[in-house]
Amino acid sequence: MPGFISPQLATLKMKAPSGAQWIHEVKYDGYRVQLHIDGDDRKAFTRNGHNWVNRFSVIAGALNIPGQAIVDGEMVVIHGERTNFSELQADLGRGDQDRLVYFAFDLLWLDGKDLRRMAQLARKELLKQLIDENGLEAPIFYSEHHEGDGQALFEAASKLNYEGIVSKRVDAPYRSERVETWQKIKTVQREKFPVVGFVKDPSGVAALYLGKQEGKELRYMGKVGTGWSRTKSAETRKALDTVVSPKQKLTSASRNRRPPGSSRSFFADVEYRDITSEGLLRASSFEGLSKK
């Protein structure tokens, strides 16, 4: 039985594919976890190959099957009727496992047989059979898929504020790299945030520090450091230089209130996925700068 297998990763796309060669799954907002079952031995590998079986012991124990198996899936916490990464982070930080749920979506190894060369749909059929035949129930769930129009599922996922969907070629093998046969289409949130500071680079800005107005206070929301071209970076720096203090004046002590010398004159239009348990933007991307 092999050790940790580097995971197959999906390529980000703007639109979901359609047709009989594709299946579509909800994209879960959690930690990618690869469960290894070998008799009574259990391992739970993160995406980077760290064995977190102690943190996920309840889930590892719930995958109660005889023999050997390597299952690929997502560890999540469901909050507000959707998977919530911030709540998962908070639970793991406290060492809580009561709310952990595991969505199994692929089967890589079964009783001495390497399944990675098999077609995607065939692997999923074996996974569902494994779960059904062993009577596995919550907190272990089989990740159901949908056939047909991927864009329709994506639009439904967007309305429910899910992270997005993953579309998979039914005939593709499993490969430990980023592939076109898995495609992820993500939903995002978009909002304007006051710029409260910035990090310089030689020709522009490397990152913007952001706030959010809450009553009379301006709460620190983290930073955004992607989404601009070199030209846009230089233009942003030129606009901010006279009205916003750079990073050096944004002390850690001031991050919970309005930083000294900062300005509410400029707002950053930012796309982001979620807000972490610490109250900071997650997976943020700069879209533009505007004046109040």
| Domain assignments of the chain as residue spans, ordered by start | 9-186, 189-291
- Strand 205-214 to 68-79 pairing: unpaired
- For residue 142, list its beta bridge partners: 104
CA angle 202, 204, 206 (to 5 degrees): 90
Q: How many angstroms separate the CA atoms of 150 and 185, rounded? A: 10
83 burial class (0-12, 13-18, 19+ CB within 10 angstroms)? buried
Q: How many angstroms separate the CA atoms of 145 and 161, rounded? A: 18
In this prediction, residue 274 carries a pLDDT of 77
Residue pair 65/37 in contact (Cβ under 8 Å)? The answer is yes
Residue pair 253/225 in contact (Cβ under 8 Å)? The answer is no
The DSSP code sequence of 210-249 is EEEEETTEEEEEEEE--S--HHHHHHHHHHHTTTS-BGGG
In this prediction, residue 33 carries a pLDDT of 98
In this prediction, residue 252 carries a pLDDT of 41
In this prediction, residue 253 carries a pLDDT of 35
- Mind listing the pLDDT tens digit for each residue in 169-223? 999 999 999 999 999 998 877 788 999 888 888 889 999 999 988 887 888 999 9
Tokens 């996974």: give the residue.
Answer: 127
Q: How many angstroms separate the CA atoms of 55 and 67, rounded? A: 23
Task: CATH number for 9-186: choose from 3.40.50.720, 3.40.1280.10, 3.30.470.30, 3.65.10.10.
Answer: 3.30.470.30
In this prediction, residue 216 carries a pLDDT of 78
How many angstroms from the chain centroid is the CA of residue 183? 14
In this prediction, residue 262 carries a pLDDT of 47
Residue pair 199/248 in contact (Cβ under 8 Å)? The answer is no
In this prediction, residue 246 carries a pLDDT of 57
CATH of domain 189-291: 2.40.50.140
φ, ψ at 238 (rounded to 5°): -60, -40
Residue pair 137/65 in contact (Cβ under 8 Å)? The answer is no
Q: How many angstroms separate the CA atoms of 76 and 89, rounded? A: 9
Q: Which SS3 state, helix, strand or coil, does residue 40 take?
A: coil
Amino acid in position 276: T
Local structure of residue 252 (DSSP, 8 states): G
Q: How many angstroms separate the CA atoms of 41 and 35, rounded? A: 11
Q: How many angstroms separate the CA atoms of 217 and 223, rounded? A: 18
Segments of the chain scoring below 70 in pLDDT: 244-264, 292
In this prediction, residue 260 carries a pLDDT of 39
Q: How many angstroms separate the CA atoms of 222 and 49, rounded? A: 28
Sign of the Cα torsion 15, 73, 139, 280 reads negative
For residues 82, 87, 88, 89, the Cα torsion angle rounded to the nearest 10 degrees is: 150
To the question of pTM greater than 0.75 for the whole model, the response is: no
